[in-house]
Amino acid sequence: MVERTLVIIKPDAVRRGLIGEIISRFERVGLRIVAMKMIRLSKEEAAKFYPSSEEWLRSVGNKSLKSYAELGKDPKADLGTDDPVEIGKIIRGWLADYLSMGPIVVMVLEGNRAVEVVRKIVGATTPYSSPPGTIRGDYSVDSPELANLEKRALFNLVHASDSPREAEREIRFFFRDDEFVTY
């Protein structure tokens, strides 16, 4: 099934000169770039990209709480709370800081099962657990515990939509209909 997905090459990857390497990985598997641009978001614009629903905030907070539990650490000591929604709000702010700390490349990739294929190429959200051969596994070793200790988002180089439905929302955030090409 041919579908579209959004990929963001985040500021840490742009700063490290990884744009071409990242793009080439998608092109090598046969995905087509049908829209692309380099932009810089304000913190306010970046914050609007991330959902603010209680469900999303709770999900993000619960992921962080799981990481704390695995490490035997107290989230209250680091974050001042153990409420997953409140932790989600903190992390959403860190994500907005991260996405707005420098230029980003946003692109829409099109191809068979694009969402799933892109996520395999990108690797796990947590870079240190991404296998070699993935973008995050080859170019980053950041971890949730280091990010939380430094009160920042996890530096994981790229964003990839996690579902076709989310891809549609994210693509509309960055691109108008007249910005797509066919070839």
pLDDT value for 165: 96
Please tell me the distance from the alpha carbon of residue 86 to that of residue 90, in angstroms, as a whole number: 6
Q: Which of 46, 159, 170, 171 is catalytic?
A: 159
Tell me which H or E stretch contains 35. Answer: strand 32-39
Task: Name the helix (H) or strand (E) containing 9.
Answer: strand 2-9
- What is the band of 58 on the pLDDT scale with cuts at 50, 70, 90? very high
pLDDT of residue 97: 97
pLDDT at 164: 97
**pLDDT tens digits, 1-53:** 899 999 999 999 999 999 999 999 999 999 999 999 999 999 999 999 999 99
98 closest CA partner among 160, 159, 19:
159
pLDDT band with cut points at 50, 70 and 90 for residue 143: confident
- The CATH number assigned to the domain with range 1-40+104-176 reads 3.30.70.141
- Predicted pLDDT at 149: 83
Whose tokens are 């959004």? That residue is 6
Domain with CATH 3.30.70.141 in the chain: 1-40+104-176
89 is catalytic: no
Residue type, 24: S
Q: Per-residue pLDDT averaged across 97-120, rounded?
A: 98
CA–CA separation, 139 vs 161, rounded Å?
A: 20
